[in-house]
Amino acid sequence: MEPDRVERPGGGRLEQVRERLRELRDRSRELADAPPNGGSGRARVLRSAELVRLAALNAARAGEAAIAAYHRAGAVHDRAAVLHDHLADTATGDADRHRDRAREHRSLADADRERASRVHGEPTNPHT
């Protein structure tokens, strides 16, 4: 199962954050690269600069929210892996199946942290 295809609680919100982040980054680039149209009055320049600043701020906030969501998802997978290991160790249910599920959750946790590190090029930190 591919980590990108796993249904997670709140996964819809994460997709919304990703989409909004893309929109804000695109708009920020559009505003930064746009040539002056119809003159370069001081008011227009100041307004454009403010819009660029707001777009960058909103993009940064959306990125931070996405990073936090990925780290929370990774932590949830870590806890699920510990639970499955415990169930296997105490012979509760199918021990082999619990060990397999623990490995799957660890893999998903690693994938979540990797995605978090790619949002802004931050290093992966499994302890946040």
Q: Which pLDDT belongs to residue 35?
A: 59
Residue 128's pLDDT band, with cuts at 50, 70 and 90, is: very low
Residue 35 counted as domain residue: yes
- Average pLDDT of span 28-42: 67
Whether the pLDDT of residue 125 is over 80: the answer is: no
Distance of CA 99 to the CA centre of its chain: 27
Residue 67 counted as domain residue: yes
Residue 73 counted as domain residue: yes
Q: Per-residue pLDDT tens for 16-31?
A: 899 999 999 888 887 7
Residue 90 counted as domain residue: yes
Q: Which pLDDT belongs to residue 121?
A: 67
Pair of tokens at residue 79: 């806890």
Q: Which pLDDT belongs to residue 38?
A: 52
- Nearest residue to 77 (alpha-carbon basis) of 96, 104, 98: 104
Per-residue HEC secondary structure of the chain comes to CCHHHCCCCCHHHHHHHHHHHHHHHHHHHHHHHCCCCCCCCHHHHHHHHHHHHHHHHHHHHHHHHHHHHHHHHHHHHHHHHHHHHHHHHCCCCCHHHHHHHHHHHHHHHHHHHHHHHHHCCCCCCCCC
Which range of residues forms the domain containing residue 48?
9-119
Average pLDDT, the chain: 84
Residue 2's pLDDT band, with cuts at 50, 70 and 90, is: very low
Residue 126 counted as domain residue: no
Count how many domains the chain has: 1
- Does this model's pTM top 0.85? My answer is no
- Average pLDDT of span 31-39: 62
Residue 3 counted as domain residue: no
Higher pLDDT among residues 87 and 28, named by residue:
87
- Average pLDDT of span 53-73: 94
Q: How far apart are the C-alpha atoms of 73 and 51, rounded to whole Å?
A: 33
CB 120 within 8 A of CB 62: no
